[in-house]
Structure 1
Amino acid sequence: MNEEKVITLKPDRKIFEDIYFSGNQGSLLFSPTTKGKTITTIAAAVIVFIVFLLKDLLSKESFGVLYFLSFIFLLCAVFLSVSVNKVSRWKKQVNRYLSVLERCTIYEIRFDKNFFTVNIDGEKETSEWKDFESIDSTHDFISLEGKYSYMFPRKAMSEKEYSLLKNTLKEKVKTNQ
């Protein structure tokens, strides 16, 4: 593969959104990152509320239980807020990227024997094949991790181009590991 191959992607925001926000990824409280913490925090809140309602039945020596449960609830709420903040920042980055895609006229991938370049309206990111650590391909997209990280949806290119990209990436990234 000495000659340069060029794949032009359709920069359709909807295609990329469907991948990035699939499976509640964009939900602040019920994304895969925050769902468990949300459920745990709600459960802790319910337990604290029930114990608070029954506080008159507690002896003075058992009052520490209410404080302990309140502390657990507070801890859960802090962990949840950190996760929500993380998802919120990720969501803002993705929306910024999607806005760039919405306005772009050129979105192409160029690769040859030595280099892999992504060009979005003249903003080029070039990597050597050895800069990539892993590739993951599913039925809907290919993700590439390394110096730069990319996600290329299947619907943004032709089947022939998708197959060429997938096979080339698997071959080049595998041989560098």
Structure 2
Amino acid sequence: MSEEKVIALKSDRKNFEDIYFNGNQGSLLFSPTTKSKTITTIAAAVILLIVFLLKDSLGKDNVGILYFLSFIFLLCAVFLSVSINKVSRWKKQVNHYLNLIDRCKVYEIRFDHNFFTVNIDGEKETSEWKDFDYFEANEKFISLEGKYNYMFPKKSMSEKEYNMLKKILKENINKP
């Protein structure tokens, strides 16, 4: 492959949203990152509420259990809020990127033997093939990880272009 190949991507926002927000990934409380923490925090709150309602039946010696459970609930709430903040920042970055794609006139991938370039309305990010550590190709998208991270939905290009890109990536990126 000595000549430069170009794939012009269709910048349909919905194609990208289907990938990024698949499986509740955009949900603040029930994304894969926060779901277990949300359930744990709810469970801790329920247990704390039950013990609080039954505090009169606890002896004065066992009131420390209420303080301990309050501490556990507070700890769960802090971990949940940190995870919610992480998902919120990710969602904000993705929405910014989707807005950029939504407004762009030119969205293309250029590659040759040495370089891989993504061009969005003249803003170019060029990488050497060695800058990529990993790629994944499945029936919905191709993702690249390295100096820059990319995700290209299969729906944003033709079947022929998708298969060509997948083949070129297999040839140029060492999969672990």
TM-score, length-scaled by structure 1: 0.98
Matched, 1:95 2:108: no
Partner of 2:115: 115
Partner of 1:43: 43
Name the SS of the counterpart of 1:95 in structure 2. Answer: helix
Partner of 2:62: 62
Q: Distance in 2 between matches of 1:86 and 1:165?
A: 32
Partner of 1:152: 152
Partner of 1:138: 138
Q: Distance in 2 between matches of 1:88 and 1:9?
A: 28
Q: Distance in 1 between matches of 2:164 and 2:13?
A: 23
| Within-5 A mapping of 1:12-31 | 12-31=12-31
Using the TM superposition, give the Cα deviation of residue 171 of structure 1 relative to its aligned residue in structure 2, in angstroms. 1.3
Total equivalences in the alignment = 176
Equivalent AA in structure 2 for residue 72 of structure 1? I
Equivalent AA in structure 1 for residue 47 of structure 2? I
Using the TM superposition, give the Cα deviation of residue 137 of structure 1 relative to its aligned residue in structure 2, in angstroms. 1.2
Q: Distance in 2 between matches of 1:25 and 1:168?
A: 29
Q: Distance in 2 between matches of 1:161 and 1:49?
A: 58
Equivalent AA in structure 2 for residue 78 of structure 1? V
Using the TM superposition, give the Cα deviation of residue 81 of structure 1 relative to its aligned residue in structure 2, in angstroms. 0.2
Using the TM superposition, give the Cα deviation of residue 64 of structure 1 relative to its aligned residue in structure 2, in angstroms. 0.4
Equivalent AA in structure 2 for residue 63 of structure 1? V
Using the TM superposition, give the Cα deviation of residue 85 of structure 1 relative to its aligned residue in structure 2, in angstroms. 0.2
What stretches of structure 2 of length at least 5 have no aligned partner? none
Name the SS of the counterpart of 2:38 in structure 1. Answer: helix
Partner of 1:128: 128
Identity %: 76
Using the TM superposition, give the Cα deviation of residue 124 of structure 1 relative to its aligned residue in structure 2, in angstroms. 0.1
Residues 90-111 of structure 1 deviation map (CA, whole Å, 9 limit, x = unaligned): 0000000000001000000000
Name the SS of the counterpart of 1:77 in structure 2. Answer: helix
Equivalent AA in structure 2 for residue 71 of structure 1? F
Equivalent AA in structure 1 for residue 40 of structure 2? T
Name the SS of the counterpart of 2:174 in structure 1. Answer: helix
Name the SS of the counterpart of 1:174 in structure 2. Answer: coil
Q: Distance in 1 between matches of 2:172 and 2:19?
A: 24
Q: Distance in 1 between matches of 2:90 and 2:77?
A: 20
Partner of 1:4: 4
Using the TM superposition, give the Cα deviation of residue 84 of structure 1 relative to its aligned residue in structure 2, in angstroms. 0.2
What stretches of structure 1 of length at least 5 have no aligned partner? none
Q: Distance in 1 between matches of 2:166 and 2:153?
A: 11
